[in-house]
Chains A and B, each alone.
Chain A
């Protein structure tokens, strides 16, 4: 509300009220414009940050990570569902691509 009053009431009225130290009225228009441009650039910036933080094709992060390297094997119990673990990519590939139909 204060913002609207400041933007719309002419300067002479405000001076007559004794309130002289306000920012120039130029800023009443400039600040919203700045905000909208920042939002627009934020879209592009976020897109760019996402692209930059994607692991490149030749990094080991596409295959494994710290948690998978340090995982411990639980003992194998008969007739129980095997524990959840990260299967190495060689085994996964062999299972998917090698068997003949």
Chain B
């Protein structure tokens, strides 16, 4: 069962949240950002090529033009493979752990799995980030020997940066599963 709702990110771009319930204790929440727009791609390409043409007009060196083409191509590939994140998803499995995956525009996916013994809680925290105060979802990790202290804070959804309404949905979904797993730790 999957449902998709539209929200806005902290910077105003439209994003979509998709919730899928795989079973009673397993849920997947995926936030999808906007795809690479043709107009921003062509704007960037034209800007680089105009600057290169200006340099060529000044210096009469034709290597500038071919260098600009190479730079554009390689820059685009690097951007798609390392920078542009299409979708970030959170898979919460009640008794097992939490898996965070980010999929890039070139198809690359990077995954992190944290077992349930290390997860203390998933909370919405607010912090100062680049002259703004933003709400962000983060996982509090604990040391298995010290259940009272927070050993690490892992922020989630870093590049799509949903706003508070989307975060509340994700938070409620996660808390339903986490409550089940925390209150029944002995049941297999």
Contact = CB atoms under 8 A, between A and B. Distances in A.
B175 A98 contact: yes
Given A57-B129, A58-B155, A63-B140, A93 B150 contact: no
What band does the interface of chain A fall in when counting residues whose beta carbon is under 8 Å from B?
10 to 19
B9 to A, nearest CB: 15
Contacts of B6: none
A62 B46 CA distance: 42
B14 interface: no
B172 interface: yes
Contacts of B124: 93, 97
B43 interface: no
A97 B153 CA distance: 20
Interface string A64-94: 1000010000000000000000000110011
Interface residues of B, number: 25
Contact of B125 (A51, A63, A94): A63
A92 to B, nearest CB: 8
Contact of B172 (A57, A59, A97): A97
A88 to B, nearest CB: 9
A60 B136 CA distance: 14
B127 A62 contact: yes
Given A57-B136, A97-B172, A98-B172, A64 B150 contact: yes
Interface of A: 51, 54-55, 57-60, 62-64, 69, 89-90, 93-94, 97-98
6 contacts: A54-B128, A58-B155, A59-B153, A60-B150, A62-B125, A97-B171
Given A59-B153, A60-B153, A97-B172, 7 more contacts: A51-B131, A58-B153, A62-B125, A62-B127, A64-B150, A90-B120, A90-B123
